[in-house]
Structure 1
Amino acid sequence: MTRRLLLSGLLLCTAGSLAAQDQYELNSEWKSLPIKEVKMDGNKLSLPATALKNWEPATVPGTVLTTMLNNKQVPDPFYGMDNKKIPDIFHTGPEYYTRWFVKDFREMPPATDGQVWLHFRGVNDGCDIYINGKKVNATTHHGAYLRQTYNITAFLAKDGHNRLAVIVYPAAFPGDPNGGQGGDGTIARNVGPQYTAGWDWIQPMRDRNTGIWDKVTIEKTGAVRILDPHIVTSVPGIRQPDGQQAPAILHVQATLQNPTANAISGKLKYQLEGKSIQQEVTLAPKGSATVVLPDLTLENPRLWWPAGYGPQHLYQLPLEFITDGKISDREEVEFGIREIQTAWNTHTRSREVLVNGQRIFIKGGNWITSDAMFRFSKERYDAEIRFHRDMNLNLIRIWGGSLTERPEFFEACDKYGLLVFQDFWMSGDCNGRWLDPQKKDDQWTRRQYPNDHNLFLESVADQVKMLRNYPSLAFWCGGNEITPPQDILAAMKDSILPKLDGARYFFDYSNSDSMSYNFIGGNGDGPYGIQTVAHFWEDRTFPFNSEVGSVGVGDLVSLQRFLPKENLVAPDFSKKFVDSIWDYHKYIGYNNSIDPYGTPKNLEDWANKAQLVNYDQYRALMEGFSAHMWDWYTGAIIWKTQNPWTALRGQMYDYYLDPNACLYGLHSGSKPLHVMYNPVEKMVMIVNNTFAYHRDLMLEINAYDMAGKQTSLGQLFVEATPGSVQKHVELKTIVDKLKSQKGIFLSLRLRNLQKEIVDDNCYWLTDANGNYSGLQEMSTVKPTVTATRKSGEVVVTVSNPTGGPLAFFNRISLLDASSKERILPVFYSDNYITVLPGEKKEIVISGEKAATKNTVVEIFGHNVNKQLVEIK
């Protein structure tokens, strides 16, 4: 839900002479000082005449640590072990990170009955607020997630020169960052993010993300303000993404607030698709009311679908309150028409997800937050969610030790078709599920965290109101691997969510039996870390696994961004290599999985071979789950797909938005219509994870040796029924024979009747000893590479000549022509590509930065020397 900037000149519509209302962000020219350096109270400090001599520039939105970093007072906590050089709040005490933030702004008092409002979308953890010599909030605010709104009309200076002063207090319980999950666990006494005390994928954030971490805005309205609109769409029946649609029903309501001393009558209304819906209402003085509008039946609606299943149509609903012929307030709400249901699959013993009546096989990724220091931007959110769409995923789970994600995150998920599974702020590690010697309190005590249950519930209600209109939001969840305390759980489940939402399924906790019946034992999720490729196919795990994953180290370019030069040394498992900085960045071992590719010559060679492992791991993970779709599984959520810090594990792209081979292995293995090779049964299979019936597909199976010699293993027409997995050709004898000496490449393709390739999958298989001996001896090839700029995109064509080996596993990058550094972020239609002899492939580089001038394309591969290609 977004409130658009409405200027008076744009309001000349249906209601005659209109009040000018708008909203703007206070996001620049803030100043700050630590509390110990400020020798006055907030009343004096907030007077515009008070001089601010030697005050530091501040970053708002942003944490205290962000301001200190931008002022070069601390080193970059994401580089090397510099985070250890920053004082930790547990040792310094809270005053060290308690700060004043001051902002001068221009705003005249409104005429007649106009109102001016001050909004804070997130302050961690507490604050007191002053404007023009007066305290705004009657009591100190607490709660990292709880939004704040204040009517500041009476506080504004007559000359329009105003000063806002905010003192921000850290959380009462920062916790001891002793290396445990959430440190000593006491950070969970607060209602705030737990990971900031450290986890097994991050070091502690030294200020625990204290600060005005989210947007501060000024809003101007007439006498009556619209808040918390709520749109629910009903889509009865079983739908298809295309063709004529049966009607859908729109249910709309909103709360109206009248801060004046007079009763006000008017109407709440909107227009959509040529129909006008309205409701008359009278608001008491200083009163508010929730107004339910008549339902609207939409004919032939344009539906919203998850990625891979259909388009993501979105509507704009302009909601207005009109009194005395004038618009008092207007909110434009973006929404999608869709209905999400769940059902219990008695065969798999897990929950399955339905959208618009069609069941969706969940291919998801776990998400922490975009940036560990809460440096958020709409552009970064858009890039990260686009990466998830490009992985052919359809769901993101927001892990409970972090936050309720920001509206800009959900806007990107709406745009790209990613369903969202939103945890609330609990984790079994801190909240007492397990006995843990690193925790300060016993399980019984931790089980009742946080200290303030009412604040937790108030925050839940507020965040539900903020996020409930996004079509991508699919599920609420009580917490990560644990339920909230019983009184919190009961209030959420029985009161808050039914009243304020009522349209989404609620999971008690992330791996509860209501999601996935645990017939295996353990915690109900995992495994984590490196697995054999065969494991993903033959070893059964939980039927809707909320966390399952593997490795994710980037290549040399990625490692060089945050590891000092002296630490750029390849891990050596045989020597039990442990580098303190690698360990500090939570390296998860590849063990001996790189050995079959040959002993690495250096870190660059090691990292390039790690990409082969990365690709294989994540292609196999999703292929293995898809192979057992609706039989063993209803879905899987990878732990995890991104890092908000420079960690050396679990990521498809690094913190700097540079993708690695994990992303493209997943991109391949998650394709909605996909041909794949089961390495256990030696069977070629086709998965159709769409609603369409694909007829007359030509399946082509070919093997290539290391010299590029082709052996045809079959060609036949096949069909792929909707939502199915089908076995087609068994290859055991011939594949084992062909690969026995040096391994082979196995090429699987699907073509349509126009002979166009609709899926292309190439495996590299070991020799009889489990080694990639042939890869170690491959001859170098010299493909012809061209790059052409077209309509803001770059099209790269890689042509491999006949008579030689495959051009194997080529990484393509867009570089700045002068610095030779990668342009980030950009998006590749595919990467780490293999080109067969006598063939060519086109890769499209897109995204806003793909249009950057003075760029070149870099390409290198396993047997392709690095070259730079001029863009024509």
Structure 2
Amino acid sequence: MGKNFVGGLLVFLIHISCLAQDGPDNRYELNSGWKCYKASELSVTPEQLSQSSYPVNAWMPATVPGTVLTTLLENKKVPDPFYGMNNNKIPDIYQVGKAYYTYWFCKDFNETLPAGDGQVWLNFRGVNYSCDIYLNGKKVNKKLFKGMFLRQRYNITTYLNKSGKNRLAVIVYPPDAVGNPNGGQGGDGTIAKNVAHQYVAGWDWIQPVRDRNTGIWDKVTIEKTRAVIITDPFVKTIVPGMRKPAGPQAPAFIHTRATLENAGAASVSGILKYEINHQTVQLPVTLKPFEKKEVQLPVVAIKDPKLWWPNTYGPQNRYPSAFSFIKNNHALSDWRDIEVGIREVKNQWNDRTRSMELRVNGQPVFIRGGNWIVSDEMLRFSNERYDAEVRFHRDMGLNLIRVWGGALTERPEFYKACDEYGLLVMQDFWGSGDCNGRWMDPKKLDDQWTRRSYPDDHPLFIESAADMIKMIRNHPSLAVWCGGNEIVLAPDLFHALKDSLMPLLDGTRWFIDYSNSDSMSYNALGNNGDGPYGIQPLPYFWNYRTWPFNSEIGSVGMGDITSLRRFIPGENLVIPAEKTRTEAVSDSVWTYHKYIGYGKSIDAYGTPKSLEDFANKAQLVNYDQYRTLMEGFIGHQWDWYSGVIIWKTQNPWTALRGQMYDYYLDPNACLYGLHTGNQPVHGMFSFGDSAVYIANNTWDKKDNLMLVVKTFDMEGKEHLVTQVFCEAIPQNAKRIMSVKEVLKKMGAAEGLFLTIQLLDVHKTLIDENTYWLADQNGNYTGLNKMPAARVNIQGKKIADGRMDVLLENPEGAPLAFFNRLSVIDTQTGKRLLPSFYSDNYITVLPGARKEIQITYPKGASNIAISVAGWNLKEQQVTIR
């Protein structure tokens, strides 16, 4: 896990004292037992229905956290909008009106009146879009609450019933502007009049979300404290100088502050403490009745700190730490735990690339990122899903995730997963060039000048931005703030963010005005941008110079036949015919799910015989596209480029474009093409100049590497091209030699395989990269002449949820080409998801063996490993 739990005893002792004072339920979530009812069908008053005596047994069970649509789906009132054309069967709020999705939500819970100066707090972490809150017949909020990205906290001590039985009732109203889902990016654009997410009115990768995600979409919690509560603690880590992961470290410094609020009518004196790594700093504080003040504590110096590093560069060490307020009578009033990753993020302009570069702990980091929308379009979030998705990004070899501005501020659980797996985060605020008026657009209701001032409520935007900054600023993974997607926000909003909120509330991270800004990078023509999108010829990624820090560049991304069958009805499982290079119109379901075309790239492997054949060949294209995309950028790192962010790595619904794994968490070959291309020390082939390169994506020089370059024909006959010692410069790519003439001579008729290997001084293989190259006509049909592979497969379960698989290819056999491994439930025949593979879509050379480590859902029994490849019929090996 990479955690440093030094100092954990101190935090544990705080918890022990807290448990002794208040019992085990100081903080708990109200996440079950909710009921809901359509507001327009109720005649009872809010005061009546929020009394425990009012019967709600007949009400519909509600999903909280969740949306109205989630609840309707869970109760089978609507069909699954992710399957086929079902989304069209669900009434859209624009047509049926907002009352259709306006619901009351009720929850009965037990909580007694606290003794002494005890306080009980009700917290909402996210409601979309506005609400009124009642507890035991009384209204809790003084005025209508509004704002998707604004947390709510209410002191409900005086609202509790003496009996301890309480009824919470919340009426949730949809967004003020629901938007016409007319097929434009964000529909008619008016969804952006709210301080909320924009994709829910539809985009070019998603259909409209029918209720616009109306509901109590994030956690509801109860907290119990004494009179003084700690809010918005901030931990700032300073790491001077240029560091490396290994060896002793010079000291790092921890700056902390927190806001204290006295909820009582009497003055309170006590001590604010912060504890980390067996060290404590503290200050005496006196708070007047109902006073709220921010307190800054003395600096903590951490000797020889265990630092936090991005993925592939070093471990993700974290320290447990805690704030506490202890009254003068030694009673603990409140505490807050914070897991601290000690690191410092900076940015500086690179004159050679003409772009900004990101530095972590003083070291330059070449950004290899992916664009992220949300985990689920209906906001059905879970710790397990966040963990799986971020882990996939780790497995791709990426080091950054950009949270796109048409979505939301990601949840702390997402950031916790990024902390764990070493993914830096670029967090956009809520705006897009499409909805907010950058371009003319006939599908938009308002003109550019009007859209330029979206949202309607600027003070709410600023208040919400401040609150979201406070919510996530302690996470070491958070590295970059971005004002919006492809547009500078309205001037007052932009200056509030840049000149007021950032310096006051954070001040430790790079702030970009918008995602493809000239302040981020500009090319030789003196401008910036993003793209291209869609499939490209492989030499493009090496020869065409895009923007120096490209925030969006992408390609194809459909899954295999198993993935397609999960959401496409049988009658629509047809080979898509393409109208243009990026558009399919032959089938309504493929069009509805936003299929992006493969052009003629699949036909180069031979005309597909079936959809399964089409999907399998698409995986070859997927792998090549993303491996080559990343290798092309890495091949020009710190010369042409300082970073690249793929558009996009995941989908929040069952779309047919831009994804490394499907909605059901089943990876496709895109993921493993990136996995190969992002290896820390890597041999690669340039489709631009037909040369072999070595990339070193570490901060250490690599000496005495043995580079081995081989070719294989379709029968498996090997030809050694070269074997030479060489070195790899840190954070660089080096051209070694051209193989153009060799390839031209040997592969003209049928194509060939090119394998590049790197071995260390102990003759240990540290990198292997096999390409399949086209014949002189640009076709791969020579692959169809490969003899059948003869692979020996062995699997061994080594722990619950973990297995090792060995693939052995005998001497003299052909290559075992492009083998997909899947963990299978032998009783259902279905893949176990999510499963994680140390590598996949694997080619095993003649006389070679590949060992694959697999993690799959714990508790699974009756499992087998399935292996199927280009020239290997599917085999299943039972794992015992």
* TM-score, length basis structure 2: 0.97
Q: Per the alignment, do residues 242 and 813 of structure 1 end up closer, same or farther by CA in structure 2, a change over 3 Å counting? A: same
Q: Which residue is 1:742 aligned to?
A: 750
Q: Which residue is 2:129 aligned to?
A: 125
What SS does the aligned partner of 2:555 have? coil
Residue 806 of structure 2 is aligned to residue 797 of structure 1: yes
Q: Which of residues 732, 740, 746 in structure 2 aligns to 1:732?
A: 740
Q: Which residue is 2:362 aligned to?
A: 357
Q: Which residue is 1:457 aligned to?
A: 462
- Offset from partner CA, 1:515-534 (integer Å, 9 cap, x none): 11144588700000000111
- Offset from partner CA, 1:528-566 (integer Å, 9 cap, x none): 000011100000000000000100000000000000000
- The amino acid of 2:187's aligned partner reads G
Q: Which residue is 1:320 aligned to?
A: 324
Q: Which residue is 1:489 aligned to?
A: 494
8 A contact 1:699–1:718 mirrored in 2: yes
Q: Per the alignment, do residues 250 and 705 of structure 1 end up closer, same or farther by CA in structure 2, a change over 3 Å counting? A: same
- The amino acid of 2:701's aligned partner reads Y
Residue 631 of structure 2 is aligned to residue 623 of structure 1: yes
8 A contact 2:310–2:423 mirrored in 1: yes
Residue 541 of structure 2 is aligned to residue 536 of structure 1: yes
Q: Which residue is 1:845 aligned to?
A: 854
- Offset from partner CA, 1:546-603 (integer Å, 9 cap, x none): 0001000000000000000000011234897621110000000001110110000100
What SS does the aligned partner of 1:438 have? coil
CA drift at 1:791: 2.4
What SS does the aligned partner of 1:813 have? strand
Q: Which residue is 1:410 aligned to?
A: 415
8 A contact 2:488–2:494 mirrored in 1: yes
CA distance in 2, matches of 1:383, 1:130: 37
After superposing the two structures, state which structure 1 stretch, 522-531 or 449-458, moved more. 522-531
8 A contact 2:112–2:161 mirrored in 1: yes
8 A contact 2:232–2:471 mirrored in 1: yes
8 A contact 2:11–2:275 mirrored in 1: no
- Offset from partner CA, 1:256-294 (integer Å, 9 cap, x none): 010111111101002222222101111110111101000
- The amino acid of 2:436's aligned partner reads N
Equivalent positions of 1:333-412 (< 5 A) are: 333-412=338-417
| Aligned-pair Cα RMSD in Å | 1.7
CA distance in 1, matches of 2:52, 2:523: 62
CA distance in 2, matches of 1:520, 1:858: 51
CA drift at 1:723: 1.0
Equivalent positions of 1:213-252 (< 5 A) are: 213-252=217-256
After superposing the two structures, state which structure 1 stretch, 299-308 or 263-272, moved more. 263-272
- Offset from partner CA, 1:720-770 (integer Å, 9 cap, x none): 121121111211111111110100000100011221111110000001110
Residue 871 of structure 2 is aligned to residue 866 of structure 1: no
Q: Which residue is 2:835 aligned to?
A: 826
8 A contact 2:517–2:528 mirrored in 1: no
Residue 814 of structure 2 is aligned to residue 814 of structure 1: no
- Offset from partner CA, 1:99-150 (integer Å, 9 cap, x none): 0000000000100000000000000000000000000000011100100000
CA drift at 1:326: 1.0
Q: Per the alignment, do residues 12 and 205 of structure 1 end up closer, same or farther by CA in structure 2, a change over 3 Å counting? A: closer
After superposing the two structures, state which structure 1 stretch, 191-200 or 746-755, moved more. 746-755
Q: Per the alignment, do residues 207 and 302 of structure 1 end up closer, same or farther by CA in structure 2, a change over 3 Å counting? A: same
* TM-score, length basis structure 1: 0.98
CA drift at 1:717: 1.1
Q: Which residue is 1:95 aligned to?
A: 99
Residue 173 of structure 2 is aligned to residue 169 of structure 1: yes
CA distance in 2, matches of 1:436, 1:600: 38
CA drift at 1:20: 7.3
Residue 319 of structure 2 is aligned to residue 330 of structure 1: no
Equivalent positions of 1:245-324 (< 5 A) are: 245-323=249-327, 324=329
- Offset from partner CA, 1:270-329 (integer Å, 9 cap, x none): 222222210111111011110100001110011000001000001111111000111100
Q: Which residue is 1:674 aligned to?
A: 682
- The amino acid of 2:404's aligned partner reads W
CA distance in 2, matches of 1:573, 1:11: 61
Q: Which of residues 13, 17, 33 in structure 1 aligns to 2:37?
A: 33
Q: Per the alignment, do residues 332 and 482 of structure 1 end up closer, same or farther by CA in structure 2, a change over 3 Å counting? A: same
What SS does the aligned partner of 1:726 have? strand
Residue 197 of structure 2 is aligned to residue 189 of structure 1: no
Q: Per the alignment, do residues 317 and 804 of structure 1 end up closer, same or farther by CA in structure 2, a change over 3 Å counting? A: same
CA distance in 2, matches of 1:588, 1:616: 16
8 A contact 2:11–2:320 mirrored in 1: no
8 A contact 2:17–2:332 mirrored in 1: no
Q: Which residue is 2:558 aligned to?
A: 553
CA distance in 2, matches of 1:521, 1:147: 42
Q: Per the alignment, do residues 430 and 763 of structure 1 end up closer, same or farther by CA in structure 2, a change over 3 Å counting? A: same
- The amino acid of 2:348's aligned partner reads A
- Offset from partner CA, 1:39-97 (integer Å, 9 cap, x none): 21211111011111420100000000000000100001110010000000001110000
What SS does the aligned partner of 1:426 have? coil
Q: Per the alignment, do residues 751 and 154 of structure 1 end up closer, same or farther by CA in structure 2, a change over 3 Å counting? A: same
CA drift at 1:698: 0.9
- The amino acid of 1:777's aligned partner reads K
CA drift at 1:695: 1.2
Q: Which residue is 1:685 aligned to?
A: 693
Q: Per the alignment, do residues 208 and 412 of structure 1 end up closer, same or farther by CA in structure 2, a change over 3 Å counting? A: same
- The amino acid of 2:243's aligned partner reads R
8 A contact 2:18–2:332 mirrored in 1: no
CA distance in 1, matches of 2:526, 2:700: 37
8 A contact 1:7–1:21 mirrored in 2: no
CA drift at 1:246: 0.1
CA distance in 1, matches of 2:608, 2:499: 58
CA distance in 2, matches of 1:484, 1:284: 40
CA drift at 1:419: 0.3
Q: Which of residues 770, 777, 783 in structure 2 aligns to 1:769?
A: 777
CA distance in 2, matches of 1:539, 1:579: 34
Q: Which of residues 44, 50, 61 in structure 1 aligns to 2:48?
A: 44
Equivalent positions of 1:689-704 (< 5 A) are: 689-704=697-712
CA distance in 2, matches of 1:710, 1:142: 68
Q: Which of residues 148, 153, 158 in structure 2 aligns to 1:154?
A: 158
CA drift at 1:10: 7.7
Residue 651 of structure 2 is aligned to residue 647 of structure 1: no
CA distance in 1, matches of 2:526, 2:514: 17
Q: Which runs of 5+ in 2 are unaligned?
A: 1-7
CA distance in 2, matches of 1:15, 1:178: 55
CA distance in 2, matches of 1:59, 1:418: 30
Equivalent positions of 1:131-150 (< 5 A) are: 131-150=135-154
Equivalent positions of 1:552-591 (< 5 A) are: 552-573=557-578, 578-591=586-599
Equivalent positions of 1:627-638 (< 5 A) are: 627-638=635-646
CA distance in 2, matches of 1:16, 1:855: 46
What SS does the aligned partner of 1:675 have? strand
Q: Which runs of 5+ in 1 are unaligned?
A: none
Report how many residues are paired: 867
CA drift at 1:36: 1.7
- Offset from partner CA, 1:222-272 (integer Å, 9 cap, x none): 110001000000000000101100000100000001011111110100222
CA distance in 2, matches of 1:146, 1:234: 29
- The amino acid of 2:379's aligned partner reads F
Q: Per the alignment, do residues 816 and 525 of structure 1 end up closer, same or farther by CA in structure 2, a change over 3 Å counting? A: same
CA distance in 2, matches of 1:219, 1:418: 31
Q: Which residue is 2:206 aligned to?
A: 202
Q: Which residue is 2:4 aligned to?
A: none
